[in-house]
Amino acid sequence: MSEKNSVIETLLSYEEDEQLRKLLIKVKKGELGAWEEYKLRKLEKRVIQSGYISEEDKKLIEKLSIELLMSRNLGKQIIYEDLDELRCRYPIKGAGTTREDIDKLKEEGKGLAGIITTSIQNRIYSNKYSNRPDANTGVPLSVLIASYGVEGDTNIIMVQACLSVLGFPIGDSGPNKNGVDGDWGARSKAAVRAYQQMKGLEATGKESSDLAKSLLDSVKNGETIDTILDKYLQNPPMSKAGLIQLPEIGKGYIIVDNYVHAKTGENWGTPETVKSLLSLAEKWAEYDDSLLRFNDLSIEIGGKFGPHGTHHNGKYVDIRLIRKDGGLGDTNIYHDTYDKVKTKELVSLLIEDPNVEKILFNDVDIIREFVNNENGVKIMKYPGHDDHLHVQFKR
């Protein structure tokens, strides 16, 4: 008899709980995950009996939950029931939970194995196994998690799940609140174009099986939006006017109303301006969950376009005002959807950038506060700028 089976026989000899005995029998049969589940249920029973969850118990439950998920799903098709349990079950207060809390959970037929919060999902995403292809599907565990429970076109769901795992801000729609919803919307299209552009592919913004394969390869190789962007910025394609493209969406921002005046878009800027905007967006992402909405940098060949008297040399951008609901729609300084506090923070971040030269904007309260800023950035009113900031850069 093996050492493990000897342990199992010993446990069976004194285990009185019928459900736990059944799990031990499954362990003897070699069923995947049975041992991890036994340990988890045993701990859960002890916690219920004591009426208290210590921090140590909570950490152990998290550890065992991950082990259970990994043991059952690495090397075989994912078991969605397990995933549903680990991601969705039983939010409670954690350490210090009272007997009353536990009794209420028992009455509802709920256990404590789901005390995992979002930290477990984050740890699963970052786990060294999460990007390993599943033996049956060829799809990484992280992508399966991101697409769990989503119905619709398989290609669209797979593309969206990969974009989400890579870190593209495609929204919070869908059953998992990560933008994976099977609906081919504006953010998904923008993210695909950004990915294609940074990878040197034709920026069609269209989903396809080839695109899904490329995205899956990126996930399997451990890439992220940051690593893809860094590689792109090392040697970005440059137009004859000396301009490069700002990817259409990224951390903290999205470009709106692109391709209105030119087939190759209006998201072209000098390398210094593009880097300034990426830095601004990254700082904004640390401050707020909404996306900055950039508009009308320059066209690929340079020169004036549309209604603009400037925007001709890659050193200008329009930034739409921040909305209270964080949405992508328009607003202006007179509308009740306008968020003055967050727009003020945006102006503050712009003024911190030594590459910013001038801001045109019509909120007089914000102008008054920053008009004498230490960096010497000019900020002033100008007709037609009730709904956006017009920003001029030095380089």
Q: Which two tokens stand for residue 38?
A: 């036994």
- Verify that 154 and 257 share a domain, yes or no: no
Helix, strand, coil percent values for the chain (each to nearest 5): 45, 10, 45
Q: Which two tokens stand for residue 308?
A: 């603009």
In one letter, which amino acid is 330? D
- Verify that 164 and 122 share a domain, yes or no: no
- Verify that 247 and 348 share a domain, yes or no: yes
Q: How far is CA 360 from CA 70, 204, 278, in A?
A: 54, 34, 20
- Verify that 257 and 375 share a domain, yes or no: yes
**pTM summary value:** 0.69
pLDDT class of 46 with cuts at 50, 70, 90: confident
Residues in CB range of 191: below 8 A, 6 or more apart: 163, 168, 169, 170, 248, 249
Q: Is the pLDDT of residue 88 over 80?
A: no
Residues in CB range of 384: below 8 A, 6 or more apart: none
Residue 78 in 3-state DSSP? coil
- Verify that 242 and 301 share a domain, yes or no: yes
Instruction: Pick the last residue of a domain from 215, 235, 255.
Output: 235
Domain boundaries, position 49: 32-126
The mean pLDDT of 249-265, rounded to a whole number, is: 89
Residue 335 in 3-state DSSP? coil
d(CA 42, CA 155): 41
Q: Which two tokens stand for residue 202?
A: 């034709």
**Higher-scoring residue by pLDDT: 106, 31:** 31
Q: Which two tokens stand for residue 367?
A: 């102008």
Residue 239 in 3-state DSSP? coil
- Verify that 285 and 355 share a domain, yes or no: yes
Report pLDDT digits (tens) over 120-147: 444 444 444 456 655 555 677 778 777 8
Residue 146 in 3-state DSSP? helix
- Verify that 354 and 283 share a domain, yes or no: yes
Average pLDDT, the chain: 81
Between vectors from CA 65 to CA 128 and to CA 79, what angle results, nearest 5°?
Answer: 80
The mean pLDDT of 205-233, rounded to a whole number, is: 90
What is the percent of the chain where pLDDT is above 90? 48
Number of domains in the chain: 3
- Verify that 308 and 241 share a domain, yes or no: yes
**Higher-scoring residue by pLDDT: 81, 158:** 158
Cα torsion through 370, 374, 378, 382, rounded to 10: 0
pLDDT class of 152 with cuts at 50, 70, 90: confident
So what's the pLDDT on residue 45? Answer: 75
CATH number, domain at 362? 3.30.1380.10
